[in-house]
Structure 1
């Protein structure tokens, strides 16, 4: 079972790469209304004061929960999309299902 760990030190690029490799889907990470720069770290984007923020995500994590976790834990908007990044995943899908869209 694939699992990824997201910390405040994680870069946007590494999170996106892990999502693609482990779940065959994409994650769009935003800095306000724009896509975040690939080189930025979660700590640069974070709107919260929680210095120990860590998320562990698995293939059965629901898309809606993943998006909520990022917002609650780090104050960052994210959206999960299919493998070719052409369609957003439904909130009720798992990350595995999103990769098969």
Structure 2
């Protein structure tokens, strides 16, 4: 089981790197309708009062649940995509399956 650490001070780039390393897939993090800048912090993007926490993810975690977690806990829209970031993963897929798209 991998732990993706997300805190107020986490940068978009650090979260992307963790997903790529742990699951061989990508996470797209949005600032409104556009992609968030890699240097932005979660606290800059968050629509909640207290963003932060640790996210326990396994290779069998579903894409839908990860996207929902970010929305509910941070108020941030994210989407999971394949290893070369050319195709969005289906919500029913696991993170491992998303990396193999």
TM-score range, shorter chain: over 0.9
Residue in 1 aligned with 2:28? 28
TM-score (structure 2 length as normaliser): 0.92
Shift of residue 55, structure 1, vs aligned partner: 3.6
C-alpha separation in 2, matches of 1:88 and 1:37: 19
Structure 1 consecutive aligned stretches of length 4 or more whose deviation exceeds 6 Å: none
- 1:14 matched to 2:14? The reply is yes
* Residues 3 and 59, structure 1, Cα contact 8 Å, conserved in 2: no
Three-state SS of the structure 2 residue aligned to 1:65 is: helix
TM-score (structure 1 length as normaliser): 0.92
C-alpha separation in 2, matches of 1:38 and 1:54: 20
Question: Structure 1, residues 37-78: CA drift from partner, whole Å, max 9, x if none?
Answer: 100110110001125x31412322110010010000000000
C-alpha separation in 1, matches of 2:54 and 2:34: 23
Shift of residue 6, structure 1, vs aligned partner: 1.5
Residue in 1 aligned with 2:73? 73
Structure 1 unaligned segments of length 5 or more: list them. none
* Residues 29 and 78, structure 2, Cα contact 8 Å, conserved in 1: yes
Calculate the aligned-residue CA RMSD, in Å: 1.2
Deviates more, 1:2-11 or 1:35-44: 2-11
Residue in 2 aligned with 1:54? 53
